[in-house]
Amino acid sequence: MRNLNSQKVPVPTLERLATYLTALAEMSDRSVQTISSSDIEMLTGINAAQFRKDLSYFGEFGRPGIGYDVEELRSRLAKILKVSRTQPVLLVGAGNLGSALVGYPGLRAQNFHIVAVFDNNYNKIGRRLWDLEIRDVADMAAANRELQARIGIIAVPSNAAQEVAGRLVEAGVRAILNFAPAPLKVPADVVVRNVDFVQELAVLAFHLSEEEEADPELVRGIL
Amino acid sequence: MRNLNSQKVPVPTLERLATYLTALAEMSDRSVQTISSSDIEMLTGINAAQFRKDLSYFGEFGRPGIGYDVEELRSRLAKILKVSRTQPVLLVGAGNLGSALVGYPGLRAQNFHIVAVFDNNYNKIGRRLWDLEIRDVADMAAANRELQARIGIIAVPSNAAQEVAGRLVEAGVRAILNFAPAPLKVPADVVVRNVDFVQELAVLAFHLSEEEEADPELVRGIL
C-alpha cells in the first residue's frame, strides 16, 4: 500500500466500496431490488453509518425511508471503481500463485479479466495456464499494444520483481498489484499495492496474547 | 482488516515491522552487522523518519551515530511479532491458492510453518499437497490438540468460509487470515484479516486516470 499516492478518498473507503459492490452483485443475482444500509451491514459486516459515510464522498445516494436501488447503486459504484466494463489485466509469473489468480472466480465476476500471462521460464512458455498460453516476458510490450491493459499483477520471486515492474511500466501498465515481498521503484504516475502474506500473518501473530501462543515445551509435555 | 480490534499500535506500523524484519533477515544472511535508518529506507522503500517512529512504539532502539545492530534489532522485532520461534499455522482449502501458500518460500523463512492442510473434498483427502497430507476438515479440532496452532488460513470458496471459521475457532485458533471474499463472524477474542484480490484490484483501478483507462472502442479501431 505504501506506494499509493495520497488521494482525497481514503484507501479504506475504496476497499469497502469493492466489498459493497460484491454484496450488491449477489443481491442483484437474487433479484433483490432495494436494500437498506442495515442490509448492507448484515451482508458485509461493515456498519451502516460507515457505509453512508463512504458513499458520501461520491455524491447523493439512496432515498430516505426507501433505501437504495440495487442496480443503480451497483452501476454507480462500478463506475467509480472503473469496473463498469471489462478491465484487462496482465499477469507475470505462471507459478502456483499465478495459477490461483487465473483460476480465481471472483476476478472475472467483477470484470477483471486476466488477458495474458507471462513468464521467463522456457519450460513454461508456450504451455497453458488454464485457458491462457504462457508467453515470453520479453514479448510483453508488443503484446500489450493490442491488449491495452493498464493493470498488472506481479507473482514472481522477489529478486525478479523490480525487473518485471520495469517491463510492465514500459508496456503501458499504470497500476500494479505486487505479491513479491520486495519494494518496487516505479514512476510517480504508477500506483502500486503490495500484498505480502508474511506481513499479514505477522500482524495476526502480534495480536495473539502471550498466554495463547503455542508453547513448544508444553506441546512436547503432552505428547 | 475490518475485524481487527483496535490496539495501541497502529496496524500499518505492524505491517511495516514485518517488512523491516524481512530486510533484516536479508542483511543478516549477508553478514551485515550494523545498519542505519537510511539503509532501511533504501532496502524497504519506507522512509527513515517513519522507521524511527514505528520503532518508538516499542522502546529504545539503536545508538546515535552508530546505527542499529542487525541481529539485535532482528531478534527484538521477531519477539514483538511473536515469530522469534516457529508459529504453527493451519490451512483450510487444498485448492490452487492453498497450494500456492504451502509452496510460498517466504512463510517458512519467517517462522510461519503451515503444519496441516484440511479440505472437505473426499477426492483430495488423503492425497498430498507438497509435503503435507490433506486431512478431513472434520478432524481439525482433534488434530490441533496436538498441533496447538493458534493461526489459521481460510482459502476456501466464500460460501464455505463461515463454517470453516467456526471450525477453526472451535479447534483453538485465535487469529485468522481469510482469503474468501465473505465477512466472518467470530468471537471477540479472535482477530481476522481479510485479503480480497478483487478489492485490491478495484482500489488500483480507481486510481487509473480516465484517459489512461483502456478504451475497448479504441482498441477495436486499431485492430
Q: Of the candidates A2, A44, A96, which has its C-beta nearest B46's C-beta? A: A2
User: Which band of pLDDT confidence, cut at 50, 70 and 90, is reported for residue B6?
Assistant: very low
Across A4-13, B10-19, B60-69, B78-87, least confident range: A4-13
User: Which band of pLDDT confidence, cut at 50, 70 and 90, is reported for residue A222?
Assistant: very low
Determine the length of chain A: 223
* Residues B216, A86: C-beta atoms closer than 8 Å: yes
**Nearest residue on chain B to A43, judged by CA atoms?**
B183
Provide the shortest C-alpha distance from residue A6 to chain B (in Å): 10
Provide the shortest C-alpha distance from residue B183 to chain A (in Å): 6
Contact in structure between B88 and B115 (CB atoms under 8 Å): yes
The amino acid sitting at A170 is: E
Whole-number Å distance between alpha carbons of B107 and B180: 20
Cell of A162: 523490480
Return the H-helix or E-strand segment holding A56. helix A48-56
Strands A128-129 and A112-119: unpaired
Q: B117-148 burial, b if ≥16 CB within 10 A, otherwise e?
A: bbbbeeebbeeebeebebbbbeebeebbeebb
- Complex prediction ipTM: 0.85
Q: For B173-215, how does the pLDDT look when each residue is reduced to its tens digit (9 = 90+)?
A: 999 999 998 889 999 999 999 999 998 999 999 988 654 444 4
Q: B111 — alpha (psi -120 to 50), left (phi > 0) or beta?
A: left
Same fold, B11-80 and B87-201: no
Tell me what the mean pLDDT of segment A199-217 comes to: 72
Q: For A142-196, how does the pLDDT look when each residue is reduced to its tens digit (9 = 90+)?
A: 999 999 999 999 999 989 999 999 999 999 999 999 999 888 999 999 999 999 9
User: Which band of pLDDT confidence, cut at 50, 70 and 90, is reported for residue A105?
Assistant: confident
pLDDT > 90: percent of chain A: 68
**Nearest residue on chain A to B180, judged by CA atoms?**
A106
| Model pLDDT, residue A126 | 97
| Model pLDDT, residue B55 | 95
Contact in structure between B73 and B53 (CB atoms under 8 Å): no
Cell of B75: 531478534
Closest CA to A25 of A87, A78, A66, A82: A78
* Residues B7, A207: C-beta atoms closer than 8 Å: yes
Give A-chain residues touching B169 at CB under 8 angstroms. none
Across A48-52, A82-86, A93-97, A168-172, least confident range: A82-86
* Residues B150, A197: C-beta atoms closer than 8 Å: no
DSSP assignments along chain B, one per residue: -TTPPP-SS-HHHHHHHHHHHHHHHHHHHTT--EE-HHHHHHHHS--HHHHHHHHHTT---SBTTTBEEHHHHHHHHHHHTT-SS-EEEEEE--SHHHHHHHT-HHHHHTTEEEEEEEES-TTTTTSEETTEEEEEGGGHHHHHHHH---EEEE-S-HHHHHHHHHHHHHTT--EEEE-SSS-----TT-EEEE--HHHHHHHHHHHS-GGGS--HHHHHHH-
Give B67-71's long-range contacts (Cβ < 8 A, gap of 24+).
B67/B34, B67/B35, B67/B36, B67/B37, B67/B39, B68/B34, B68/B35, B68/B36, B68/B37, B69/B33, B69/B34, B70/B24, B70/B27, B70/B28, B70/B32, B70/B33, B70/B34, B70/B35, B71/B28, B71/B33
Contact in structure between A48 and A37 (CB atoms under 8 Å): yes
User: Which band of pLDDT confidence, cut at 50, 70 and 90, is reported for residue A210?
Assistant: low
pTM for the model stands at 0.84
Which CATH number is A11-80 given? 1.10.10.10
CATH topology (fold) of B87-201: Rossmann fold (3.40.50)
**Nearest residue on chain B to A45, judged by CA atoms?**
B183
Using the Cα atoms of residue A22, residue A26, residue A28 and residue A33 in order, give the sign of their dihedral: negative
Whole-number Å distance between alpha carbons of A143 and A135: 9
Across B11-15, B65-69, B115-119, least confident range: B11-15
Whole-number Å distance between alpha carbons of B155 and B111: 20
User: Which band of pLDDT confidence, cut at 50, 70 and 90, is reported for residue B44?
Assistant: confident
Per-residue pLDDT for B12 more than 50? Answer: yes
Q: Best of A108, A147, A206 to disrupt the B interface by mutation (most B CBs within 10 Å)? A: A206
Q: Best of B113, B200, B212, B219 to disrupt the A interface by mutation (most A CBs within 10 Å)? A: B200
Q: Of the candidates A185, A200, A218, which has its C-beta nearest B195's C-beta? A: A200
Contact in structure between B135 and B143 (CB atoms under 8 Å): yes
* Residues A176, B204: C-beta atoms closer than 8 Å: yes
Domain boundaries, chain B: 11-80, 87-201
